[in-house]
Amino acid sequence: MHEIIRVTGLTKKFKDLTAVNDLSFSVKQGDVYGFLGQNGAGKSTTIRMLLTLIAPSAGTIELFGKKLQGNKHEILSQVGAVIEKPDVYKYLSAYDNLRLFAKLSGKKIGPAQLMEQLETVGLASRAKDKVKTFSQGMKQRLGIAIALVHDPKMIILDEPTNGLDPHGIADIRNLILRLSRERNKTILVSSHLLTEIEQIATRVLIIDKGKKLVEGTAEELFDPAQTVVELSTLDNAAAARQLAGSQWAIMLQPQREGRVVLKLDRKSIPDLHRYLVQHNVDVLSLQPRHSLEDYFLQLTSGNQHVDAFTD
């Protein structure tokens, strides 16, 4: 599969603030590419540079094998995007919103195609209803329909689940998966929620303070055999000695803030808990955390990172 996006040394400075710092990554055709980082990590700034909404201070961007600079109109005609909350006309119907944006795209798109797009995002039954009556999740899906109206090869979604309830988040997640599997779209989706990206992404990039921390396939980064478990007991030293003399010894990691730490397959966690109970270890807490989440938290500082990344 060839590359749809190649970013090299991308940097954006706002006076004394470096929002994006020497960032390089690539998105391959057919990817659902998860772009992860806490709020303020530089995700939206990067996306705005990809869409030429702001100019980079340094670095290069190539889309579809061509440099973005000098080929803006040709390239962006193949891209659809929803940046944060979609801008729609609340007093128009869903269909009329879509028809208006279709006309702005410059392509001839008939009523049947417009209804097909609304069907794709689950809004066909509300096509004639005014957008002011829609929930935030429905508005978000309408925004995605608008991004799809000219049948782009790639879609960019910036925090598409922000402000949505669990049902709305599930709707957007399922829609992204359908667009990838049934419509063969390449999708770049940014989020600060690791659990959401884990369920949809084929490849993942994590950034912090504008810099790349890690990039790889979902299989590499979300390996269930690499779950980190933090154990807190009434006597952590005694618990560590008990585990050190058992089959769990090879899974023990260096202690963290006095807690006993193990790395193991997620499926083994119930067995670990049973072992501890059977050997009279008084467990206060047993907290599993994915190794990718653990890696992120180790490389970033401050409790705000924990809240922003794991909500």
Give which of 92, 147, 161 is closest to 117, Cα–Cα. 147
Report pLDDT for 81.
94
Report pLDDT for 300.
57
**Buried b vs exposed e over 222-239: b needs ≥16 C-beta within 10 Å?**
beeebbbbbbebeebeeb
CATH code of the domain made up of 224-310: 3.30.70.980
Amino acid at residue number 240: A
Could you read off the pLDDT tens digit of each residue along the chain, which spans 311 residues?
A: 689 999 999 999 998 999 999 999 999 999 999 999 888 899 999 999 999 999 999 999 999 999 999 999 999 999 999 987 788 899 999 999 999 999 988 888 899 999 999 999 999 999 999 999 999 999 999 999 999 999 999 999 999 998 888 899 999 999 999 999 999 999 999 998 888 888 899 999 999 999 998 898 887 787 777 788 889 999 999 999 999 999 999 999 887 677 899 989 888 999 999 999 999 999 999 988 776 666 666 655 444 444 444 44
- Show me where the domains of the chain are located: 3-219, 224-310
Pick the CATH number of 3-219 from 3.40.50.1000, 3.40.50.410, 3.50.50.60, 3.40.50.300: 3.40.50.300
CA distance 145 to 123: 9
Burial of 133 (C-beta count, 10 Å sphere; 0-12/13-18/19+) = exposed
The token pair that represents 228 in the structure block: 């980190």
What's the sign of the alpha-carbon dihedral 123, 125, 130, 133? Answer: negative
